[in-house]
Amino acid sequence: MEENVKYILAILTSFFVMTGAAMADYRLVVPSPKGTGTAIWADVIAAELEKYLGERVIVENIKGGKGNVGLETFNSKYKDDPKTILLAHGGNANAWLIEDVNWSFKDWEPVLVQPYNITTTVASDFDWQNERLDLADCSGCVPETLAWTMIKGWDNINFVRKMSAGDAKQAWLRGDFNYIREPASRHIKNTVPMVDEGNALRLFNHGMFTPENGFVQDYNWPDTPTAVELYKQTYGKEPKGPVYEAYILSAVWRDGLQKGLFMHPGANTAEVIDAFERMIANDESRAYLISKLGDYPMYFGKDSEIIMDSLYSYVTKERLRYLVDFAANNMEWSTATYVEGKTID
């Protein structure tokens, strides 16, 4: 028995040696499992980036805690590794605002930031102004929940819990749901044909985030109003109040930081930024990235710092309090916690 145990231990030790020996040249930590939109973004970027870095970029998908395990792992385990890059997404950005997490964007240096825009579509036979709206409680859907609350009022919304974005997509396709929210790439693939056939109406998006002017009209969808414009069209006045303020904070962070790469201070940040700049300057690479990831600008180095500074400027005590209160009271998130130190004032 003892011999058998020793034998098993020897084999298991070899495993741990194996895991330690499997060191990548560069490591891209992705806090989402394979198969998700973020993971696909990471795979595309990593494969292209290694051509310009001249070294391998191994993607390490870390599942768990709605992304928190990956972010915590980057924050602690890879703190002193100069070649580890983190990919954070808009959902992580909202978690940072709403929850008490063990990591902070403020501790890291931005390498690249890519704003995105999420499109909201409704069934053409759905009277969105008067009928009750079923809304999924998915973790990345906070800005849509706030936008709809701003437009329709919370009392006219049926908030369906334990429903992921994937579940909501299925419900939309089966006709159980009257609305869907999706990033541009999926919207083009799945929903534009429905809009063209008259079966669906592209109702609003959030706009394209810019550091200078906040949300502006998305040139990809020139005929689609932003949520704020839709409110103005509907009510003939500017939106204001706690829900609007919470919406602005949540939306600029979710879409402004839809995809962000970060490294620890002292890491090989300059080398990675240089590789990205050469990558984007190459027409072939740029066309490939647009075809795979959509036509949204990528900000590197100093520009990404400007974007992050702009995002931080939105985090006022008042807005953060409104957002956390909405998550705690309306969405009933037990994890919603107001944390000092995130705000600018």
Partner 1 sequence: MIELFIIVLAGVLYGLVFGVIPTAGPTTALLVSYSFIPFFYSEPYLGVAFYTAVIAACTTGDTWSSILLGIPGSSSSAATVLDGYPLAKKGKATYALSAAFTSSTINGLFFGGLVFLLMPLYGKLLLIFGIPELLMLNILALSAVIFLVKGRIILGIVSVLIGFILGYVGIDENNAPRLTFGTEYLKDGIPIIILASGLFAVPELFEMFMGETRLQKLDNSWKQIQLGVLAWKKYWRVSMRGGLIGAFVGAIPGVHGVVADWLAYTQTQASYPKRKFSVGNIAGVVGPEGANNAVHAASFVPTVVFGIPGTPFAAVILSIFFLLQFDLGSVSIQSDTSFYKYLATGFLGGTVLVGLFCVLLSKPITVLLKIPAKIYAPLILVLITWACYQISHTYYDIATLAVCSAIGLLSKRFELNRPAMLLAFILFSKIEALTIQTVSLYNMFSLMERPIFIILLFLTLTIAFAGVKYVRK
Q: Which of residues 128-147 bind partner 1 (CB under 8 A)?
A: 134, 137
Q: Are 107 and 52 in contact (CB under 8 A)?
A: no
Tell me whether residue 12 or residue 344 sits nearer to partner 1 (CB atom).
12
Helix (H) or strand (E) segment spanning residue 180: strand 179-183
Q: Which of residues 40-79 bind partner 1 (CB under 8 A)?
A: 40, 43, 60-66, 68-70, 72-73, 77
Of 108-116, 162-170, 204-212, 231-239: span binding partner 1 (CB under 8 A): 162-170
Rounded to 5°, the CA angle 252-256-258 comes to 120
The count of residues interacting with partner 1 (CB under 8 A) is: 49
* Residues 6+ positions from 43 with CB-CB distance below 8 Å: 59
Tell me whether residue 101 or residue 251 sits nearer to partner 1 (CB atom).
101
Of 110-118, 246-254, 292-300, 327-335: span binding partner 1 (CB under 8 A): 327-335
Helix (H) or strand (E) segment spanning residue 89: strand 84-89
Q: Are 248 and 326 in contact (CB under 8 A)?
A: no
Q: Which of residues 233-252 bind partner 1 (CB under 8 A)?
A: none
Q: How far apart are CA 25 and CA 320, in angstroms?
A: 39
Helix (H) or strand (E) segment spanning residue 212: none
Tell me whether residue 162 or residue 237 sits nearer to partner 1 (CB atom).
162
162 lies in the binding site for partner 1 (CB under 8 A)? yes
Q: Are strands 259-263 and 200-205 parallel, antiparallel or unpaired?
A: unpaired
Least Cβ distance, residue 228 to partner 1 (angstroms) = 28
Distances in Å between the alpha carbon of 296 and those of 23, 154, 246?
33, 32, 25
Q: Which of residues 271-300 bind partner 1 (CB under 8 A)?
A: none
* Residues 6+ positions from 200 with CB-CB distance below 8 Å: 121, 122, 123, 124, 191, 194
23 lies in the binding site for partner 1 (CB under 8 A)? no
Least Cβ distance, residue 293 to partner 1 (angstroms) = 15
Of 84-92, 110-118, 156-164, 317-325: span binding partner 1 (CB under 8 A): 156-164
Binding positions for partner 1, rule: CB under 8 A = 4, 7-8, 11-12, 14-15, 18-19, 33-35, 40, 43, 60-66, 68-70, 72-73, 77, 134, 137, 158-163, 166-167, 169-171, 173-176, 190, 332-335
